[in-house]
Amino acid sequence: MDLLQAMYDRHSVRSYTERPIEGKTKEDLMSFIEQCRRESGLHLQLVTDEPNAFNSLMAHYGNFSGVRNYIVLAGKKGKELEETCGYYGEKIVLYAQTLDLNTCWVALTYSKGKTVFQLDPGEKLCLVIAVGYGTSEGVPHKTKPRESVMHTEQTPPDWFLRGIDAALLAPTAMNQQKFVFSLKGNTVTAKAGIGFYSKIDLGIAKYHFELGAGTENFRWG
Ligand SMILES: Cc1cc2nc3c(=O)[nH]c(=O)nc-3n(C[C@H](O)[C@H](O)[C@H](O)COP(=O)(O)O)c2cc1C
């Protein structure tokens, strides 16, 4: 399964079976996370077989059940942290989908002391992604019309519209889809709107846009 297909097949899944992530699937997921860690400089950690640990992480909304594995996204505090977490987190989410795993991004508060992951000095926990074998594949979300998330002065080329459609498939906090992609020449600018986690959403949507539009067709402005 390729990443474009994964983008269509992915939906948030909040209920998981007891089937563990193991064998080649676990190895592949771990080495992909390691690759993203090296590329991004983020502190990315995969926690597996920890059915209780998730209880000390309180999701802001949503009913979760059977979560026993999750990916922790953390990194050095700074202006770019949230967007970078969004971008690389979604890379991992879509890769996990190609391994037949389900996921859900989770905004949370956590009780310090009970957690099983590490934060180094100067680091901040951004978010976690629940991962595992879902009890279902989830359902497609409602999408905004293209026009409300794009701005162009010229007739938009097909690759740009493919990028927009891909961005509209992206998971966003509370399905808010508060981003706008603008096109000038072959330069694309993406801006986050005002809203909770909208910078994380922007990083996620930018990765989708790249997959849909093809990075050979444009540059980021
Ligand atoms: C940054 C971020 C935070 C999220 N936090 C939560 C959460 O705390 N609880 C939850 O149930 N879903 C959470 N989600 C999942 C979104 O609700 C979901 O992506 C959105 O409704 C679109 O649905 P879909 O992912 O199935 O396409 C979050 C998504 C993102 C991107």
Q: What is the pTM of this model?
A: 0.96
At 116 the pLDDT is 72
Span 142-153, pLDDT tens digits: 999 999 999 999
Span 117-138, pLDDT tens digits: 888 999 999 999 999 999 999 9
Would you place residue 62 in the very low, low, confident or very high pLDDT band (cuts 50, 70, 90)? Answer: confident
Protein residue with its CA nearest to atom 31 in ligand 1: 172
The domains of the chain are located at: 3-132, 146-216
Q: Does position 1 have pLDDT exceeding 60, yes or no?
A: no
Q: Does position 111 have pLDDT exceeding 80, yes or no?
A: no
Protein residue with its CA nearest to atom 11 in ligand 1: 62
Do the two domains 3-132 and 146-216 of this chain adopt the same fold? yes
DSSP 125-189: EEEEEEEE-BSS---PPP---GGGGEEESSPPPHHHHHHHHHHHTS--GGG---EEEEEETTEEE
Span 8-36, pLDDT tens digits: 999 999 999 999 999 999 999 999 999 99
Average pLDDT over residues 56-77: 87
Arch. (CATH architecture) of 146-216: 3-Layer(aba) Sandwich (3.40)
Span 178-191, pLDDT tens digits: 999 999 999 999 99
At 178 the pLDDT is 96
Q: How far is the CA of 186 from the centre of ligand 1 (A)?
A: 31
Question: Which residues are within 8 A (CB) of 83 and not within 5 positions of it... i.e. 6 or more apart?
Answer: 192, 199, 200, 202, 203, 206
CATH homologous superfamily of 3-132: NADH Oxidase (3.40.109.10)
What residues flank ligand 1, with Cβ below 6 Å?
11-12, 14, 59-62, 104-107, 127, 138, 141, 171-175, 197, 200-201, 204
Protein residue with its CA nearest to atom 20 in ligand 1: 175
Q: What share of the chain is helix, strand, coil (3-state, %, to 5)?
A: 40, 25, 35
Would you place residue 51 in the very low, low, confident or very high pLDDT band (cuts 50, 70, 90)? Answer: confident
Average pLDDT over residues 205-216: 98
Q: Does position 113 have pLDDT exceeding 70, yes or no?
A: no
